[in-house]
Homo-oligomer: A and B are copies of this chain.
């Protein structure tokens, strides 16, 4: 593993790829790259390595063939972007990469499925997993922020004190953190974020310092421990809570559940934070920031109608946002802010 995890080594492999292409152009030939075929017929089980590997079949991406030039261009762009991530010591989710590509009309990924395919080609070509060139997978519910806590459970940890800003991947929010005593808190607010990639972005861009914020990654609909912790931070430490979600009916509802609870937890009162504020992405942000949008699908529109009927969303503000969605019939994701720059979302 060691060699694959070596940043310099991966950078060197990316540079070799660039050199091959530049050399071909300088020699006056159309650049082309042979890529290991990922066709089922080329997936073989290696008895010695004891794992599936790709066989010797190759597919060639060539600029000399009008049907293949686009895929080659996309591959080169993805390699270039990955080298930039590596040099900056940053990371992107596949979703963010897809949106970032919107800045380069010549790349023209129609859907994320296409950019995912190109990333897989690049993995095959370099022989290393995408994590090593800065493209991270989905992660899960966690916390990061400048607060000291004192554990109550499990027994062995009772009384132990820990700061929650030491692990840049975040600490998993389980029973021990959710029930811990709060000691020193230097943060001035809580930001609950729907998406892993954006949570990581806030850490990498040091937004926790800029906003003096405790960051909570809800990884979609906030799990109960996350909601419990958000409420406690709000009520016990009087920290304001801001919620950052996609601009779509699901994002609205993620905010709504943190603020007002869910119908299936109506029998308990300890999980809501009525004072929490949804700060976007709002429907009205879509126009304001000229965000790349996607059309709403039938299930989005159905969900929108349900929210319009829901008493929790009966204030003027919510009604206005829901009406805007209904007119637009389009949605936008947090990652769409990546269109502007690596760090736009926290600026």
Q: Which residues of A contact B (CB under 8 A)?
A: 1-2, 4-5, 7, 36, 38, 43, 45, 49-54, 88-91, 120, 123-124, 127-129, 131-132, 134, 136-142, 151-158, 160, 162, 166-179, 200, 203-204, 206, 219, 223-225, 228, 231-232, 235-236, 259-263, 265-272, 274, 311-312
10 smallest CB-CB distances across A and B, nearest first, come from A169-B174, A140-B140, A124-B267, A52-B266, A51-B261, A4-B270, A45-B311, A1-B232, A50-B274, A168-B176
Cross-chain contact B50 with A128 (CB below 8 angstroms): no
Whether B263 contacts A43 by the Cβ 8 Å rule is yes
Asked if residues B266 and A129 are in contact (CB atoms below 8 Å), the reply is no
The answer to whether B127 touches A5 (Cβ under 8 A) is: no
Q: Which residue of B lies closest to A271 (CB)?
A: B129
7 of the cross-chain contacts (CB-CB < 8 Å) are A123-B267, A129-B268, A139-B173, A151-B168, A168-B174, A170-B171, A172-B172
CA gap between A311 and B38 in the complex, in Å = 18
Q: Closest approach, in angstroms, between the C-beta of A67 and any C-beta of chain B?
A: 22
Query: Given the complex of chains A and B, what is the CA–CA distance between A222 and B274 in angstroms?
Result: 37
B123 touches A153 (CB 8 A): no
A271 to B: closest C-beta gap in Å:
6
Q: Are B274 and A51 in contact (CB under 8 A)?
A: yes
Residues of B contacting A139 with CB < 8 Å?
140-141, 172-174, 225
CB pair A174–B154 under 8 Å, yes or no, is no
